[in-house]
Amino acid sequence: MFTPSTSSTTLLDRLTDEITSFYENPTAVVPQVTAEQIRTHLQSFDFCKPIDAERVFEEVQYMMRNWNVQITHPRYFGLYNPAPLLTAVIAEALAAVYNPQMAAWSHAPAANEIERHTLRHIAQKIGLPLEALACNFTAGGSEANHSAVLVALAHNFPQTLEDGLWALPQRPIIYASELAHNSFDKIVKHTGLGLDGLRIVPVNDSLQMDVNALRILIKQDQNAGRKPFMVVGTAGITATGTIDPLTAIADLCRQYDLWFHVDAAWAGAAVFSDTIRPALAGIELADSVTVDAHKWFNLTMGAGMFFTRHAGSNARAFTVRADYMPPSEEAVSVPYLTTMQWSRRFIGLKLFMALAELGEDQLARMIEYQAGLGAYFREQLKQEGWIVVNETPLPVVNFTHPRIRMSAVSVDGVLTKLYAEGDAWISSVTLRGEKVFRMCITNFKTTRADVDSLMDQLNRLVSE
């Protein structure tokens, strides 16, 4: 019998200490390291002989603390990567300890029902009907968006499940904003629709999908003998935080009998906020919705969610025969028969525990606090003479400076200096041909003092 060496209780104690220590005091935001330095360091791990577990722990601890951008830091103002709630970290450990097999309901009844209970609550907050709801956790928003395309194809072209896309008499077409998430570029390639099957819809002056332009594109494709079947509206565009006119898109989709998908990977959590929820009006009309719990629900990565009001089409898209799997129960949803996945992690536990601990009111306050900081930064920029170029109720701010527009300094030059100082991280994006800064707040630990510190740095760096 093989008996692997096990980590000591001392090591578990050290892990607990590290979770507490790093959670409360993450290291500098931006690392100063090269790929060559890391690769040279890793050469000592040749995997030929065992290494003491405590030394391995120390090495990993050092590398992770010092050689990553620390996205949990309150002055990380970059992508949608929040600091996770401590409850989420604990839930990850519990999921690893119990390690349930989620593919078969009969192997993990409690875990599957915890996820079902949690997902149905989120669906109710979105406004989706529960009677024919299909929903599941995913690795992230890209997988959820991929699921939406597959289910929409099964719904509109059920014959393709047997014959494939090549047998269709008309080419299927998807429509998405020019600022929609680039996961759809991958999805159309992976599903066989091809990049020519994805129509890019221009945005209006508010950086939202132009519904009139969408209508024109649909008519053009119909007249050319193609088959429009799906429109993607975005609630919380990655680059700008803007929200497409969801109700108008839904109306157009009903008129042309198109599947309406809402990618609410980030802003979907705002359905819990009475103040922000009105900006998401129309999301309840969607045929399918993507939400990422590892974004504004402040959980560890990854935790996406996929919802559709068409359970029958969802089942057709994913049903398979696998005689080696346990018999399926008719009264429950069996994950490997209703999702893209087979074996996967118990993703939903961290959201279940976080919602149970916080309650809806605290979650709403956490979201609204971050949105308030975004509005505060927006006002600070205007007072300091900067130019804000987007409008959104979400805490994403796109901005530039007169000195940049006069070419006295550049966005890249300012960012290079900012990163070298290591105290904060923001990104850039190109909008209407102009490169601008992008600042986003997704950390409940961020304070006005952190925002003020960033403002001071930017004022100094743009003037150098």
d(CA 370, CA 291): 18
Confidence (pLDDT) at 1: 63
- More confidently predicted of 415 and 327: 415
> What is the phi/psi pair of residue 350, to 5°?
-65, -35
Higher pLDDT among residues 167 and 316, named by residue: 316
What secondary structure, in 3-state letters, does 82-115 show? CCCCHHHHHHHHHHHHHCCCCCCHHHCHHHHHHH
Check residue 81 and give its pLDDT.
84
> Which residues contact residue 2 at a Cβ distance below 8 angstroms, ignoring those fewer than 6 apart?
none
State phi, psi for 427 to the nearest 5 degrees: -125, -175
**Span 213-221, average pLDDT:** 98
Q: 5 pLDDT band (50/70/90 cuts)?
A: low
CA 319, chain centre distance (Å)? 26
The two three-digit tokens of residue 446, written as one number: 């961020």
232 DSSP β-pair partners: 176, 261
Compute the distance between CA of residue 441 and CA of residue 447 in angstroms, rounded to an integer.
Answer: 10
pLDDT higher than 80, residue 311: yes
SS3 content of the chain, % helix, strand, coil (to 5): 50, 15, 40
* Cβ contact 377:439 at 8 Å: yes
Ramachandran quadrant class, 410 (left: phi over 0; alpha: psi -120 to 50; beta: rest): beta
Q: Kindly report, residue by residue over 7-23, the tens digit of the pLDDT.
A: 677 888 888 888 888 88
Instruction: List the domains of the chain with CATH numbers.
Output: 9-68 (no CATH), 93-354 (3.40.640.10), 360-463 (3.90.1150.170)
| Other CB atoms within 10 Å distance of the CB of residue 331 | 6
